[in-house]
Amino acid sequence: MEHKRIVPLDGGYNCRDLGGYRASDGRRIKWGRLYRSGSLSYLSAKDQVEFVRRRVTVDCDLRSRNEQHNYPDKLWPGARQIDAHFYSESGQEEAEAEEAWRKGRKKLPHLPSYLGVIYQQNMLAPRTHEVMRLIFAEMLDLPEGEALLYHCSMGKDRTGMVSVMVLMALGLDDREIMRDYLLSRENPRTINEADIDDQLGRQIAKMNETQVSQTAFYGITETIRQMWGGFAGYFESLGFEPGDLDRLRDKFLE
């Protein structure tokens, strides 16, 4: 059976199947189990039927609460939406993120990249840990024959960060992960769902206009290695048991 990475949608954007990428142990990610995407706010009825056909039952929305409110996802039958807003928002989340960055930034290399620095900051933020714990827990609980999707507005930055961590979790090496990360260069269109009247919205809008790069990519992978000694240490820091990582890989690799 021939599989295609790009999921063609009438009203969707930058939707891709993560299947087929090879892990370091020689296994490959199963097709039809994990999807990454841009905005789902403009899906057609045909698009919704396509997600039903693919048995996508979990929709992890990485966008800010403002984006979720102003541009709600058009859900399809059987789908369960999860608020997985990726960036720290006002109040305690922002205070925790600033404190974590203050404590951890000296341990990280300087990156000459706007996105790279933003990625470093978010890798240290407690909110990011909460979101990744949530997504990995959903992956571990996902019934056989069903699929999980995560998305932001463009499917580039927040979705790209989550994809790097998901692919690291599944045991892919940097070169294979970067193949997926840099595919977003082929989708240069900008979808502005951010509220530019607030600081977070302006940051999101700027990131949407900034091209992904290898330097930005290392803002994720090297932060994990410098701060947690590798992905296994990061995964355990999220509260999972050591055997859960093997269980995750057995579930999504073949």
Task: Tell me the C-alpha to C-alpha distance, in Å, between residue 144 and each of 5, 73, 139.
Answer: 20, 24, 10
Nearest C-alpha neighbor of 170 from the set 135, 198, 146, 200: 135
Query: How far apart (Å, rounded) are the C-alpha atoms in residues 104 and 76?
Result: 41
Q: C-alpha angle 120/126/127, rounded to 5°?
A: 95
Assess contact for 3 and 19: CB atoms under 8 A: yes
> Residue 81 has what pLDDT?
98
Q: What is the DSSP letter of 41?
A: T
The set of residues, in sequence order, having a beta carbon less than 8 Å from that of 191 and lying 6+ positions away, is: 13, 38, 39, 153, 154, 208
Estimate the crossing angle of helix 158-169 against helix 126-141, to 10 degrees. Answer: 60
- Residue-wise pLDDT for 95-139, tens only, equals 999 999 999 999 998 888 888 888 999 999 999 999 999 999 999
Query: How far apart (Å, rounded) are the C-alpha atoms in residues 18 and 56?
Result: 13
> Residue 39 has what pLDDT?
93
Which amino acid, one-letter code, is at 70? Answer: N
**Helix, strand, coil proportions of the chain in percent (round to 5)?**
50, 10, 40
Q: Is the pLDDT of residue 204 over 60?
A: no
Query: How far apart (Å, rounded) are the C-alpha atoms in residues 32 and 20?
Result: 10
Nearest C-alpha neighbor of 147 from the set 247, 71, 60: 60
Residue 28 confidence class, pLDDT cut points 50, 70, 90 = very high
Task: Tell me the C-alpha to C-alpha distance, in Å, between residue 137 and each of 105, 237, 247.
Answer: 28, 14, 11
What three-state secondary structure class fits 176? helix
Residue 172 confidence class, pLDDT cut points 50, 70, 90 = very high
What three-state secondary structure class fits 231? helix
- Residue-wise pLDDT for 211-254, tens only, equals 556 788 889 999 999 999 999 999 999 999 989 999 999 999 99
> Residue 189 has what pLDDT?
56
Question: In terms of pTM, does the model score above 0.85?
Answer: yes
